[in-house]
Every structure is written in C-alpha cells, then in structure tokens.
Chains A and B, each alone.
Chain A
Amino acid sequence: MSVDKATVQRIAHLARIAISDADAERMQGELNAILGFVEQLEAVDVEGVEPMTSVTPMTLRMREDIVTDGDKAADIVASAPDTDDNYFLVPKVVE
C-alpha cells in the first residue's frame, strides 16, 4: 500500500493542516516509508488474536454521577483569541 500526493493533500486537509506542494511531496515519501514498515507486520499470523487497544491489564474506571466541576467560564475562555460575555467567538459558520 502506498499513498499518492493527492491523498497526502487530502489527509492534511482533513486535519486542517496547510502544506505546500513541496511539503506534500516530501511527506508522501515519509508516509510511504512508514507504510512500508507497517506492511512488514502483515507477515505475522494474527488469526484469532483480538485487536489490542491497551497494554495495561486494567478495566475502565467509572465515575459517580455527581457534579464536581464547572462554574469557571472565565477560565474556559481565557485563552481564546476572541470572546464576548464568556462565549467563544469564531468566524461565522452558517450552513
């Protein structure tokens, strides 16, 4: 499996990362090298082995249904470039 330049551009766009044509070409090479490594893993027989999503022998911890957080709107929006009345402001997005 390998990716072409258009796919690289598309992946970058999905991640909202702007890359130049030259960058895309370089990254195409890097990504294909990575995919090459991954391909080697396909030689391993994983028949009947469940996909592993974690390496820790733990089960998911659960929280009680109690309100313990909130009431800090000023902190929440503190780093935002533009705010009004503790709302975040973003360029208008209307469907």
Chain B
Amino acid sequence: MSLTDIRTPNPKNFIAGSDGDWEIVIGMEVHAQVSSKAKLFSGASTAFGGDPNSHVSLVDAAMPGMLPVINGYCVEQAVRTGLGLKAEINRRSVFDRKNYFYPDLPQGYQISQFKHPIVGEGEVLVELKDEEPVTVRIERIHLEQDAGKLLHDQHPSKSYVDLNRSGVALMEIVSRPDLRSADEAKAYLTKLRTILRYLGTCDGNMEEGSLRADVNVSVRRPGGEFGTRCEIKNVNSIRFVGQAIEHEARRQIDLIEDGGTVDQETRLFDPKNGETRSMRSKEEAHDYRYFPDPDLLPLTFDQAFVDAIAADLPELPDEKKARLIGEYGVTPYDASILVSEREIAAYFEDVAKGRDGKTTCNWVINELLGQLNKVGTPIGESPVSPQQLGAIVDLIGEQVISGKIAKELFEIVLAEGGDPREIVETRGMKQVTDTGAIEKAVDEVIAANPDKVEQVREKPSMVGWFVGQVMKASGGKANPQAVNEMLKAKLGVE
C-alpha cells in the first residue's frame, strides 16, 4: 500500500535534533468495543467483570464443532459508526481468519476482516485551540473478535486465562498517517471517542478497555520521506498516547542521530516510567496466513438497511458545534467544549433557550463544569439543574444580583440545593440599587480617604479602588455600575 502525505509541515510541530529539525508522523489503529449485550459470534454476555470464564459459550472457548453465528446488532453498529465518520459502507464484506498462537486466543485464529472490510474510507475533523482544523483520513473500519485476558501475577510459573472478553465485538478503526504531534494524536482520539459516544456504538470507557489504541510512530526530516515506524500496542488512556508518542519519537531521533536505524517492531508503553520497550525479543516476521473463514458466508446487506441507520443518526459533534455558534453566538472554542459530550450540549441548550447564549455558556463552562470536573461528577448527575442555573442567569440579567453575588449564590445552590430566587430573598442577597444607601456608602469612603481623593485626580483609573471599597462596605450587594457612576460624579473624574 502506498502512503500519501496530505499535510503541510508546520514548524510548530518540529522537534529539534542535534543537527536540524525532525517531524513526527503518527497513524492510529483504534479498537472500539461495540456496545452490544452479546458477543460478535455467540450468545454469551459482554458485561465487564464477571467471574472467570462465566461469560463464555462453547463457541468462545473454541470447542470442536462449534460454529459462529453473527450478531446483527454489531453489524448495524459498525455501519452506524461508518456513517458517523462519513465513510463508504461496503454492502459486501468478508470475514477472514488471522492465524496465530497465543494462550488468550483459544481458536488459534482471530476472526477478522482483511481484504474486504465492512467500512471503507472516511474522515475525522480534528481541532486544536488556535490552529487550523486537521482532516484525518480514515482508511477502513473492520469487525473482529477480541481476545481473552491473561493474568501473570497469580502464580510463579503459570499464566491464568479468562475468556470472558474472548469473542466480544471490536471495531478496528484505522487512520492514515495524517497526525504530526502528540497533541494532534490526543485530539484525534478524543474526537473519535466523542463521535462514538454520540453514535452510541461504543461507550468509550478507556479504564475498562472499551477503547484502546495501537499507535504507529515514525520520524523524518520535515516534509521528507516517511521513516520506518514502530507500533506501540494497546495504549489505554489519552494521556498515555501523548506520553508514548513523545518518548518514542525522542528514542527514534536519538537512535538515528547516533548513526543507527529504526527497526520496524512492536513496542509496549510502560506508564510507570513513561517509556516504550520492545515487545518481542526474538521477533519473527508475522505470518498470519489470512484466508476467508469457511464457517462464515460473506456479510451482505441491502441499501435499505444502510438508509434506515442513516435516517436514525443523531446530530453529530461538528454539526452541533456549527449550530451552537450560529444560534447562540458562542465562540468556536467554547462550542467545541460544549459539544465534547452530548449531555453537556443538552444541558447548555436547556439553560440557553430564551436566555443570553454567551452568559449561559460562561456559566456552564467556567462555573458548572469547573466545579463538576473538580469532584469528577458527570454533568448528568449535576447537583445544579438547568432550571436552577437558568434562574441564576435570569437574576443577573434582571440586575437583582451582581455577578460576584451570583457566584456565591451558585456555591450555595451547588452545596445545599434550593430555589435560587428564594435563596436571594431569604438571605438578603439582593443587589442594592437604592441610590440613597449607595450614596451614603460612597460619601463615607470618600470622607475616610482624603489622601486617595487627592491621588485620583492625577490618576483617574484609581476610581476602581474606591469602587472596591464601596462594594466591600455594602457586602458586595451594591450595584457596581451605580457605584461607579456616582463615584465618578462625586470625585470629578471622567
């Protein structure tokens, strides 16, 4: 397969070497577990955990005479994912056997799709702050079986095999080598995860292994010929993807600059020391001897099947983002945060309907998400409901409370719950707009600080200090705009 380069080298991504700059080239193979109840070719459960070998049918254990029967729902989810990545759908695909021996693979082969995958070329739009969006080409998506799990720490000379995961449906999503930095790779995986979660085809839970990435890394002189790549297997967090790439690129650059060459090999990332290491000491060229699985006929479906899935697609992150910018006037960057989870965008829209989009956006992102992220609560379980946050935004808009008091009010609602309007009433948090009361406070501050009054005539910006003093005296409840105007009049500054 010939590799094409669609990127223009960006000096921002270059890595300085001892005799010139280097550029990293990254492609990814992401394994996304299909969110199905049963496995790809058997009726055993896909539930995470479970006692050893309790979610295993005789098919998954590769007992003689057992035959695979495909799960239609998994086929549908692969097509759905393909449509979500604007990819071509292959109405005829073929399952092949990928042959190799390992204790986590009872069949001695993995049922996968080699020559004719179910989904062909698509794309993912990747955005980084303050940079041009990058279109990452998807080469293909194919359906395949997951392997079992090995435990190595239970016994001095034995490995323990649990086949609960064996046969679970995976979508392998293969990208072209279109990524040029660790940040781009992280953004790509984040975006892919968001799309999968919108589609509902994979839960994206990386801790439970529902989403894992094999990262292909090579280095080259900027814009030059592609270098030899190493594949870092099974990286299971977005942060680790970044670390693994940084380390691997550095290793390859050092190796080449010392006169060596990079061997094409499989490597493992060790999160403990942030390094990658060679996975197979006596690397034998893999010979998987793929051939069509004689137990399975070609997978075919008609256009109506595809059309029905297409008609049922949700609004996807890119479209939602464009709509939020247009409808609510939020910035592209804020919009990308709002659409990062379907639930965040839904919450935002609940609050923003009939209110000021920008103010609502600031409250959702800075206050609500800020607080929720601190304690690790998902927005779906937010202690502050959209109605409550909406009331706070209304109170600011009606000038009943100042922005500063609003933050206090938010803290109270977050900690204790309750109706924001009632809280403002009962706790006397209303903004003081009574000019008599404000004037009294203003006069007191002016009388108490004759030296500052002198200075403010020289330096009008010092009026801010007076505003602060008056606000403090009023317990933050004076209307800051009214205070500002009155002070300027009394101090005679513009």
Contact = CB atoms under 8 A, between A and B. Distances in A.
Contacts, number: 135
B404 interface: no
Contacts of B287: 14
B71 A63 contact: yes
Interface stretch (B297-305, B318-326, B442-450): B297-305
Interface residues of B, number: 54
B99 A14 contact: yes
Interface string A62-95: 1111111111110111000010111111111111
A54 to B, nearest CB: 5
B101 interface: yes
Contacts of B289: 14
Contacts of A92: 152, 155-159
Task: Name A's interface SS.
Answer: loop
Contacts of B51: 73, 86
Contacts of B69: 61-63
B55 interface: yes
A73 B56 contact: yes
Contact of A87 (B36, B57, B72, B162): B162
A47 B251 CA distance: 49
A73 B52 contact: yes
B412 interface: no
A89 B159 contact: yes
B38 A89 contact: no
A34 to B, nearest CB: 16
Interface of B: 36-38, 42-45, 51-59, 61, 69-75, 94, 99, 101-103, 150-152, 154-163, 268, 279-280, 287, 289, 292, 294, 296-300
16 contacts: A53-B298, A60-B300, A62-B70, A65-B74, A68-B38, A69-B44, A69-B59, A70-B55, A82-B158, A86-B53, A87-B161, A87-B162, A90-B159, A91-B158, A92-B159, A95-B279
Interface of A: 14, 16, 51, 53-54, 56, 58-73, 75-77, 82, 84-95
